[in-house]
Amino acid sequence: MTRQVVSFHYILRDEGGQVLDSSSQDQPITYLEGSGAIIDGLEMALKSFSPGQKRVVSVAPEKAYGLHDPQQIRTIDRKQLPVAEVNIGDMFQTGPDRHAPVVRVVAIEGDKVKLDANHPLAGQRLIFEVEITEKRTATPEEIDHGHVHGPGGHHHH
């Protein structure tokens, strides 16, 4: 099967219609199919789209950022945090590695802080308004490297 490079514009809303994110109007998102660059549910839907098509795609939590997992919520002592001052909504990486999980402060009770490692969109159905701007066959080099090269993609220096 030929892997495609797909470029698209999108507006992401939650089920209530609130805009959560969008692509910039002059710079579409470009990805290599199968690279894991976008959520599974959206990638599956985009396979059937042609350039110029506009559609609304509804993605279930299981095909987006997963279901909300109560086991991802922990309470720790405030002194274990890397900063002295902390507010609800603050986010921290749990280790020095840039791939370390990110946690969000969801509650503060005296010296205890409740942290949630779920993705902020876990458990939510996501509604994408999508317009495909381009589809092309990926080059062998892009497939080998696992990402797009050229405009909208990765540039080697």
C-alpha to C-alpha distance for 105 and 59, rounded to whole angstroms: 26
Q: What is the CATH number of the domain that holds 43?
A: 3.10.50.40
pLDDT at residue 73, rounded to an integer: 95
Q: Would you call 150 exposed, middle or buried from its count of C-beta atoms within 10 A (0-12, 13-18, 19+)? A: exposed
Same domain for 20 and 59, yes or no, is: yes
- Spatial CA neighbour of 141 closest among 156, 152, 124, 121: 156
Q: Which helix (H) or strand (E) holds 41?
A: helix 40-46
pLDDT at residue 2, rounded to an integer: 85
pTM (two decimals) = 0.80
Where the chain has pLDDT below 70, the residues are 1, 151-157
Same domain for 28 and 76, yes or no, is: no
pLDDT at residue 64, rounded to an integer: 95
Same domain for 87 and 15, yes or no, is: no
pLDDT at residue 18, rounded to an integer: 95
Same domain for 59 and 28, yes or no, is: yes
Same domain for 49 and 81, yes or no, is: no
> Across the chain, which distance is largest between two alpha carbons, in Å?
57
- Spatial CA neighbour of 106 closest among 127, 91, 124, 128: 91
pLDDT at residue 83, rounded to an integer: 81
Residue owning tokens 């840039």: 98
pLDDT at residue 122, rounded to an integer: 94
Q: How far is CA 116 from the centre of its chain?
A: 17
Q: Determine the structural domain holding residue 50 and report its residue range.
A: 4-65+122-145
Same domain for 57 and 40, yes or no, is: yes
Q: Based on the structure, what is the number of domains in the chain?
A: 2
In a domain, 38, yes or no: yes
pLDDT at residue 153, rounded to an integer: 58
Same domain for 98 and 21, yes or no, is: no
